[in-house]
Amino acid sequence: MPRLLLFIPLTLFIALSFFLWKGLSIDPRELPSALIDKPFPEFEVAALLQPERILTKADFIGSPVLVNVWATWCPSCRQEHEQLLRIAQENKIAIIGLNYKDERAAAMNWLQELGNPYVFNIYDESGMLGLDLGVYGAPETYLLDAQGLIRYRHVGVVTGKTWQELQVMIQNLEGNP
């Protein structure tokens, strides 16, 4: 029996190494949203392209949507724009833009130049809706279910791989609403 006890340090070492090794593949910037499974915050903010139109949460309740936080000052947003356009073309889910702390003219110009994948854009100039949502930088993408609950938050560029993962989640949402 005391012989077996001698293996305790080795076992502890292996366990520690496992945790450290696992830690290498964790991205510390990927924080889960504090709002997962909670409702999207209430808001009343003007639209980007039609400044006189006031958008509220009621504008996107009823079916799952993606809410994409973007800004013209954000280089990664340009990087993911192509992918967003592809997603919009596939027509499986509506993408709503949340234009975050941006200039209206620059943002309108961006959509004209690069194409517009968004059904509509919320113009969050002060960043207060972003703050309520727990946004800490662009780009971020949220998946909302038909009731307007936040189901998933993706931080960073939406890639083809992200889209595949999102599609699985969207199918699950539609399967058991």
Interface residue list for another protein (CB under 8 A): 28-29, 31-35, 101, 127, 131-137
Across the chain, the runs of DSSP E, i.e. the strands, are 44-46, 54-56, 65-70, 94-100, 121-124, 140-144, 150-155
Tokens representing 20? 């450290």
Taking the least distance from each CB to another protein, the nearer of 35 and 149 is: 35
Q: Which is nearer to another protein, 95 or 155 (CB)?
A: 155
Q: Which helix (H) or strand (E) holds 168?
A: helix 160-175
* CB burial of residue 61 (10 Å; 0-12, 13-18, 19+): middle
Rounded CA gap, 122 and 67, in Å?
10
Query: Minimal distance in Å, beta carbon 31 to another protein?
Result: 6
Q: Which helix H or strand E contains 24, and what residues bound it?
A: helix 8-24
Q: Closer to another protein by CB, 22 or 29: give it.
A: 29
Q: Which is nearer to another protein, 71 or 143 (CB)?
A: 71
- Please, what is the minimum distance in Å from the beta carbon of residue 99 to another protein? 14
Quote the distance between the C-alpha of residue 34 and its chain's center.
13
84 or 129: whose CB is closer to another protein?
Answer: 129
User: Contact, 60 vs 144, CB < 8 A?
Assistant: yes
